[in-house]
Structure 1
Amino acid sequence: MNEFLSRFVWIMRGKLSEAYPDSDKNTIDGMLLIIVEKVVSEMEKGGGNLDQMIGGGGGEPTPSEDFSEDLWRTVWEISNVVLEDMQKAQKKEKVKTFLQSEEVKEMCRFAGEVGIRGEMLRELRFKWAREKMEEREFYQSLERLKEEEEEEEDAKEVVKSERILVGGDAEDGVSEERPNVVSLPKRHGKLKYKIYGLDLSGPKWAEVADRIHETEEVIWPQEPKQISGKSKVVTEKILSLQTEDDPSQLLAEWVELLQPSRIDWIDFLDRLKERNTCLYFKIAELVLGEESFQANIRDYSKLIDAHAGENRLDDAERILKKMNENGILPDILTSTAMFHMYSKAGNLSRAEESFESLRSQGLQPDMRVYNSMIMSYVNAGQPKLGETLMREMETRDIKPTEEIYMALLKSFSQLGDVNGAQRVATSMQFAGFQPNLESYTLVVEAFAKAGEPDQARHNFDYIMKLGHKPDDRCTASMIAAYEKKNLLDKALNLLLQLEKDGFEPGVATYSVFLDWLCKLQMIDEAEQLLTKIAELGEAPPFNVHVSLCEMYSRARNEKKALQALGVVEAKKDQLGKEGFKRIIEGLTAGGFVQDAKRMLELMQAEGIPVPEQLKLPLMMSHSHRRPTIR
Structure 2
Amino acid sequence: MRKCKRGKQRWRTGLGLDDQVHLALQARPLYGSVDLPSAATGTSLLMAQIKVEETARWGDLEEHGRRAFYPDAATFTCLINGFCMEHKIKKAIELLRKMGSFGCTPNVITFGTLITGLRRTGNITIALQFFEEMVNGNVDLVSLTRGIKPNVVAYNTLIYGLCNTSNWEEAKTLFMEMLDEGVQLDVLTFNMIIDDLCKNTKMNETNGLLQLMINRGVHPNTITYSTILASYFLASIIDDARKLFDSMASKGCEPNVVSYNIFMDGLCLANKIDDAKELFASMLNKGCMPNVVT
Alignment TM class, shorter chain as reference:
0.5 to 0.7
Equivalent residue, structure 2, for 1:288: 62
> Within 1, Cα distance between the matches of 2:159 and 2:169?
10
Distance (Å, rounded) in 1 between the aligned partners of 2:182 and 2:43:
46
Partner of 1:354 in structure 2? 130
Residue 159 of structure 2 corresponds to 374
Structure 1: 5+ residue stretches without partners: 1-223, 228-234, 483-490, 507-535, 542-630
Deviation track 1:425-461 (CA, whole Å, cap 9, x = no partner) reads 2422442457677645433422444xx32xx224224
Q: Which residue of 2 aligns with 1:495?
A: 273
SS in 1 for 2:37: helix
User: Within 5 Å, which residues of 2 pair with 1:505-584?
Assistant: 539=292
239, 243, 252: which one pairs with 1:462?
Answer: 243
CA distance in 2: counterparts of 1:286 and 1:392, whole angstroms: 40
Q: What is the Cα deviation at residue 287 of structure 1?
A: 4.6
Structure 1 residues 325 and 281, CA, compared in 2 at 3 Å: closer, same or farther? same
* Structure of larger gyration radius: 1
Question: Are 2:156 and 2:188, in contact at CA under 8 Å, matched by a contact in 1?
Answer: no
Distance 1:260 1:415 in 2: 71
Structure 2: gaps (5+ residues): 1-5, 138-144, 250-254, 284-288
Mapped to 1, the partners of 2:162 and 2:149 lie a distance apart of: 19
What does the per-residue CA deviation read over 1:217-241, in whole Å, with 9 as the maximum and x for residues that have no partner? xxxxxxx9967xxxxxxx99xx867
Distance 2:99 2:224 in 1: 51
Q: Give the TM-score taking structure 1 as reference length.
A: 0.32
Would you say 1:302 and 2:74 are equivalent positions?
yes
Matching residue of 2:106: 333
Question: 1:357 aligns to what SS in structure 2?
Answer: helix
Query: 1:407 offset after TM fit, Å?
Result: 3.1
- State the Cα deviation string for residues 138-175 of structure 1 (Å, max 9, x = none): xxxxxxxxxxxxxxxxxxxxxxxxxxxxxxxxxxxxxx
* Secondary structure of the structure 2 residue equivalent to 1:333: coil
Distance in structure 1 (CA, Å) of the matches to 2:42 and 2:102: 29
Q: How much has 1:478 moved relative to structure 2?
A: 5.2
1:276 positional shift: 9.7
Using the TM superposition, give the Cα deviation of residue 305 of structure 1 relative to its aligned residue in structure 2, in angstroms: 1.2
TM-aligned CA deviation for residue 366 of structure 1:
3.3
Cα deviations by residue, 1:293-337 (Å, 9 ceiling, x for unpaired): 2887xx263332123456635568536525646973997625641
Sort the Cα spacing of 1:377 and 1:240 in 2 relative to 1 into closer, same or farther, 3 A.
Answer: same
- The aligned runs of 1:73-92 (5 Å cut-off) are none
Q: Is 2:36 the counterpart of 1:266? A: yes
Equivalent position SS for 2:192: helix
Question: What whole-Å deviation, never above 9, does each CA across 1:169-228 have from its counterpart, x for those lacking one?
Answer: xxxxxxxxxxxxxxxxxxxxxxxxxxxxxxxxxxxxxxxxxxxxxxxxxxxxxxx9967x
Cα separation, partners in 2 of 1:373 and 1:294, compared to 1, 3 Å: same
Q: Against the structure 1 CA distance between its residues 464 and 319, is the aligned structure 2 distance closer, same or farther, given a 3 Å change threshold? A: closer
Change (3 A) 1:261 1:419: farther
Trace 1:377-392 onto structure 2 (pairs within 5 A): 377-380=162-165, 382=167, 384-392=169-177
- Counting only pairs closer than 5 Å after superposition, residues 137-152 of structure 1 correspond to structure 2 as none
1:476 is aligned to 265
Asked if residue 365 in structure 1 is aligned to residue 150 in structure 2, the reply is: yes
CA apart distance, 1:400:
1.7
User: Bigger relative contact order, structure 1 or 2, given CA contacts below 8 A and separation 6+?
Assistant: 2
Q: What CA RMSD, in Å, does the superposition of the two structures yield over aligned residues?
A: 5.2
Q: 1:471 to 1:426 in 2, by over 3 A?
A: same
* TM-aligned CA distance change 1:445 to 1:263, over 3 Å: farther
The CA distance in 2 between the partners of 1:260 and 1:314, in whole Å, is: 43
Whichever residue aligns with residue 406 of structure 1, its letter is N
Q: From the superposition, tell whether residues 496 and 281 of structure 1 become closer, same or farther in structure 2 (CA, over 3 Å).
A: closer
Structure 2 residue 178 is matched with structure 1 residue 400: no
What are the superposed Cα offsets for residues 461-492 of structure 1, whole Å, 9 maximum, x if unpaired? 4337759797222232455xx5xxxxxxxx22
The one of 94, 100, 107 equivalent to 1:321 is 94
Cα distance, 1:397–1:260 mapped onto 2, change above 3 Å: farther
Alpha carbons 2:72, 2:104 under 8 Å: kept: no
Give the Cα–Cα distance (whole angstroms) in 2 for the partners of residues 333 and 325 of structure 1.
Answer: 10
Partners in 1 of 2:223 and 2:64 — Cα distance? 57
1:235-250 aligned within 5 A: none
Identity fraction in percent: 8
SS in 2 for 1:267: coil
Deviations 1:245-300 (A, max 9, x none): xx79x95x97577459997583388489669942897488515236852887xx26
Q: Which residue of the partner structure matches residue 142 of structure 2?
A: none
